[in-house]
A and B are shown apart, each in its own frame.
Chain A
């Protein structure tokens, strides 16, 4: 069965520091991969997506992610975080008309 693993429940980084959030997936074929962000009390906002082609994808708010088939990973990165990036981040894979979700990583920003 398809699954998504986000191994870090919480991550704390200083404002201005770089960020990497990890995501590993289990899927037989070429996956459709997504990162979403959720601010407290809000819905989910699509940050970026990977369907095929270039393995480094750019998203909104300065985020990027790299698809690595050999490692079954789709890690999210940002070179310099801002206090407004504090939120929960979810990785997902598309399968059989649904999105299968990771458990999420809560990002905490230290001033």
Chain B
């Protein structure tokens, strides 16, 4: 079974631009979570989706948004990028037969904002 895939793997953007990151969960998984990882703040929860509904959102500004499609694929969008948004963005999925907290991670998207 294929793992969680994230595209693109690397991205360089300029301050003020917007960016969209994509995540395809493990086949059959309906929950997708997003995390931001930085050296200073560690791993921080962005949001979680299940069957196209956001069930929880972390403490991030409204510039960060996400959505989930009917095939469980998910996207996150960051508008008006700031230098501090440079981070590794990790997507995780969980699904039937696993505890919903048992999350399987993709390789991440490394975003650099200049």
- Among B44, B45, B90, chain A packs the most CB atoms within 10 A around the CB of B45
Determine whether B103 belongs to the interface, using a CB cutoff of 8 Å to chain A. Answer: yes
B-side interface residues, number (CB < 8 Å):
25
Residues on B with C-beta less than 8 A from A45 are 105
Determine whether B64 belongs to the interface, using a CB cutoff of 8 Å to chain A. Answer: no
Q: Is the CB of A49 within 8 A of B99?
A: yes
Which residue of the partner chain, among A42, A94, A98, contacts B58 with CB atoms under 8 Å? A98
Q: Is the CB of A46 within 8 A of B33?
A: no
Number of A-B contacts (CB under 8 A): 57
Residues on B with C-beta less than 8 A from A34 are 101-102
Residue of A nearest to B107 (CB): A43
Tell me the residues in window 28-57 of chain A with beta carbons closer than 8 Å to chain B beta carbons.
32, 34, 36, 42-46, 49, 51
Determine whether B63 belongs to the interface, using a CB cutoff of 8 Å to chain A. Answer: no
For the complex, give the distance between the alpha carbons of A101 and B35 in Å: 10
Residues on A with C-beta less than 8 A from B31 are 97
Q: B-facing mask of A83-96, CB < 8 A → 1, else 0? A: 00000001010101
Residues on A with C-beta less than 8 A from B50 are 97
A-side interface residues, number (CB < 8 Å):
22
Q: Is the CB of B45 within 8 A of A43?
A: no
Residue of A nearest to B48 (CB): A97
Residues on B with C-beta less than 8 A from A99 are 33, 35, 43, 45, 92, 101, 103
Q: Is the CB of A97 within 8 A of B56?
A: yes
For the complex, give the distance between the alpha carbons of A103 and B40 in Å: 10
A residues in contact (CB < 8 Å) with B: 32, 34, 36, 42-46, 49, 51, 90, 92, 94, 96-104
The 3 closest A-B pairs by CB, nearest first: A94-B101, A101-B43, A43-B105
B residues in contact (CB < 8 Å) with A: 4, 31, 33, 35, 42-45, 48, 50, 55-56, 58, 90, 92, 99-108
